[in-house]
């Protein structure tokens, strides 16, 4: 069994991005600028946004964090988005999800300029991704592809089961694994909460990608010997014995599944750090595109 070390690979990617930024600086070019909007003060969301901003610093990007109160109206948030769309200094921006109940998430995603949509959630970008066109691929699925590619894991003709069909992870992941090329060319099954006999479906998979958010859902007896297992799940489980009052775990019973898997991602240290690295990669791409438009 080999661990898919997202921490190490994400650091490699950040080093590559930092090198590209250094070249931009040396050439007197503008460096990429990422903005992140967060509404409210959800602990996990603040942690994620904080990590994204810190990662920008690490690679030499400029970053702007816009923190809005939990009571922000939809109109106010749409106004902030319109300003970011218009601001030529901002190459890309994200709106951290989930949003408070008074705000329609779909409306917000639709308001983002697709050329600045580095999360890849806008229907224009999602459609381009599904049609094999060059675009921003949502960061978490993009990170999974990158792990498969950098560990040179054969995907062609493999049976892949993606558990979960969220718009940000499961759905794009299943489309990407079925695309022509590498990584891709898989025979994909998309499983979800209504899937019957899900244990049997998962047991047939050469590659299991789990994005459901239920701790330890995937047990060793569900997984084929030698399967590749990618665990996207991140759940905070309350635990008073821990300093933070919780511990982080994934969807996979790592201890036992790792004994059967050929490759497996740990949680933490697998998919999570890759997500941030790929957001940076999308932002670099946005900058390069904007730069090319101006020349």
Catalytic (active-site) positions: 52, 96, 119
From the number of C-beta atoms within 10 Å of its C-beta (0-12, 13-18, 19+), residue 291 rates as middle
Nearer to ligand NAP, 118 or 232 (CB): 232
Cα–Cα nearest to 20, from 295, 286, 294, 293: 286
Length, in residues, of the chain: 295
- DSSP H helices in the chain: 6-26, 43-59, 74-86, 105-111, 123-130, 139-150, 170-177, 198-203, 254-257, 271-294
CA distance 282 to 278: 6
The reply on whether position 170 binds ligand NAP by CB under 6 A is yes
**Residue owning tokens 């970053």:** 63
The reply on whether position 174 binds ligand NAP by CB under 6 A is no
Cα–Cα nearest to 286, from 85, 22, 141: 85
Nearer to ligand NAP, 114 or 250 (CB): 250
What is the radius of gyration, based on Cα positions, of the chain?
Answer: 19
Q: Are 176 and 128 in contact (CB under 8 A)?
A: no
Q: Which of 72, 125, 140, 174 binds ligand NAP (CB under 6 A)?
A: 140
Nearer to ligand NAP, 140 or 155 (CB): 140
Q: Which stretch binds ligand NAP (CB under 6 A): 76-84, 119-127, 227-235, 287-295?
A: 227-235
Nearer to ligand NAP, 51 or 85 (CB): 51
The reply on whether position 213 binds ligand NAP by CB under 6 A is yes
The reply on whether position 164 binds ligand NAP by CB under 6 A is yes
Q: Which of 163, 202, 207, 277 binds ligand NAP (CB under 6 A)?
A: 163
Residue 237 burial (CB count, 10 A): 11
Q: Are 92 and 81 in contact (CB under 8 A)?
A: no
Nearer to ligand NAP, 24 or 227 (CB): 227
Q: How far is CA 251 from the centre of its chain?
A: 16
Angle (CA) 192-198-200 rounded to 5° is: 150
Q: Which of 232, 252, 257, 277 binds ligand NAP (CB under 6 A)?
A: 232
Q: Which of 72, 235, 249, 282 binds ligand NAP (CB under 6 A)?
A: 235
Q: Which of 55, 137, 198, 229 binds ligand NAP (CB under 6 A)?
A: 198
Q: Which stretch binds ligand NAP (CB under 6 A): 7-15, 113-121, 126-134, 211-219?
A: 211-219
CA distance 265 to 284: 26
Q: Which stretch binds ligand NAP (CB under 6 A): 15-23, 62-70, 158-166, 200-208?
A: 158-166
- Least Å distance between CB 69 and ligand NAP? 24
Total chain residues near ligand NAP (CB under 6 A): 25
Residues of this chain that interact with ligand NAP (CB under 6 A) are: 140, 163-166, 168-170, 191-195, 198, 211-214, 232-235, 271-272, 275
């Amino acid at each position: 069994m080999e661990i898919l070390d997202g921490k190490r690979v994400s650091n490699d990617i950040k080093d590559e991005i930092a090198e590209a930024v250094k070249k931009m600086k040396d050439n007197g070019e503008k460096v990429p600028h990422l903005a992140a909007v967060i509404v409210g003060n959800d602990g996990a969301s603040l942690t994620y946004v904080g990590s994204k901003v810190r990662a920008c610093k690490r690679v030499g990007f400029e970053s702007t964090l816009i923190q809005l109160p939990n009571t922000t109206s939809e109109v106010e948030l749409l106004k902030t988005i319109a300003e970011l769309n218009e601001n030529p200094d901002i190459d890309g921006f994200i709106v951290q999800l989930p949003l408070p109940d008074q705000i329609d998430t779909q409306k917000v995603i639709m308001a983002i300029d697709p050329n600045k949509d580095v999360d890849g959630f806008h229907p224009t970008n999602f459609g381009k991704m599904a049609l094999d066109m060059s675009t921003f691929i949502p960061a978490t699925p993009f990170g999974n592809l990158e792990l498969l590619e950098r560990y040179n894991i054969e995907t062609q003709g493999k049976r892949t089961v993606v558990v979960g069909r969220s718009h940000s992870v499961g759905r794009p992941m299943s489309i990407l694994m079925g695309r022509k090329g590498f990584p891709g060319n898989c025979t994909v099954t998309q499983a979800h909460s209504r899937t019957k006999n899900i244990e049997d479906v998962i047991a047939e998979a050469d590659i299991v990608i789990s994005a459901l958010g239920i701790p330890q859902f995937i047990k060793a007896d569900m997984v084929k010997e030698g399967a590749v297992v990618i665990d996207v799940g991140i759940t905070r489980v309350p635990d008073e014995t821990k300093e933070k009052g919780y511990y982080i775990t994934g969807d996979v019973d790592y201890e036992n599944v790792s004994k059967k898997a050929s490759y497996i991602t740990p949680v933490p240290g697998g998919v999570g750090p890759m997500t941030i690295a790929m957001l940076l990669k999308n932002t670099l791409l946005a900058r390069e595109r904007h730069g090319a438009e101006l020349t």
